[in-house]
Amino acid sequence: MHKVEELISEKDIAAKVTAMGSLISKDFKDKDFMVVSVLKGSFIFTADLVRNIDLPLEIAFISASSYDGETTTSSGNLKIRCDIDISVENKTVLLVEDIVDTGLTISRLKDYLYKKGAECVKICTIFDKPDRRKIEVDVDYCGFVIPNEFVVGYGLDYNNKYRNLKNLCKITI
């Protein structure tokens, strides 16, 4: 068995998500607004966040993985496993992630959505591990900056398990 220790409680996460939802509701007022949730990790955060956004919005899901190539530019090396089913053309997009780690996935997805015609793409993540960054990313909305540990829970997995934990935990493998 792996050792699993709490880093952030369910209560602290809920309070943060409520605050993020209020802020986003103010910032995105009067916008033709769309949430793009990055699967699988952000499904729980997205479900909580959108219920704290007091605006009409559309939701689409995308599943992608990035792999490290020779260069760490934000354009290449993105594999889309499952694409969005609603057009982003001329829309303001809130790209919702579970965690920004190296930053490669989210920056490549941001470029991808701009290429598909989005007017503006903002990045929202519940957790951020800036120590691991390989590319500079402008994170517009961040819940918690966390240390360089492998974490599970609140949607995040280790080998596809632990996503259903209500809190964020550090896992020792």
Task: Please identify every residue annotated as catalytic.
Answer: 101
**54: helix, strand or coil:** coil
| Contact positions with ligand IMP (CB under 6 A) in 85-124 | 97-106
Of residues 88, 93, 151, 168, which one binds ligand IMP by CB under 6 A?
151
By C-beta, is 114 or 150 nearer to ligand IMP?
150
| Contact positions with ligand IMP (CB under 6 A) in 17-76 | 41, 66
Q: Is 62 left (phi over 0), alpha (psi -120 to 50) or beta?
A: beta
By C-beta, is 29 or 134 nearer to ligand IMP?
134
Contact predicate 116/83, CB 8 Å: no
Two tokens, residue 89: 């053309």
CB 79 → ligand IMP: shortest distance, Å?
Answer: 12
Write the CB contacts of 95 (distance below 8 Å, at least 6 apart in sequence): 36, 38, 106, 109, 110, 113, 121, 122, 123, 124
CB 30 → ligand IMP: shortest distance, Å?
Answer: 30
- Which residues contact ligand IMP by CB under 6 A? 41, 66, 97-106, 150-152, 156-157
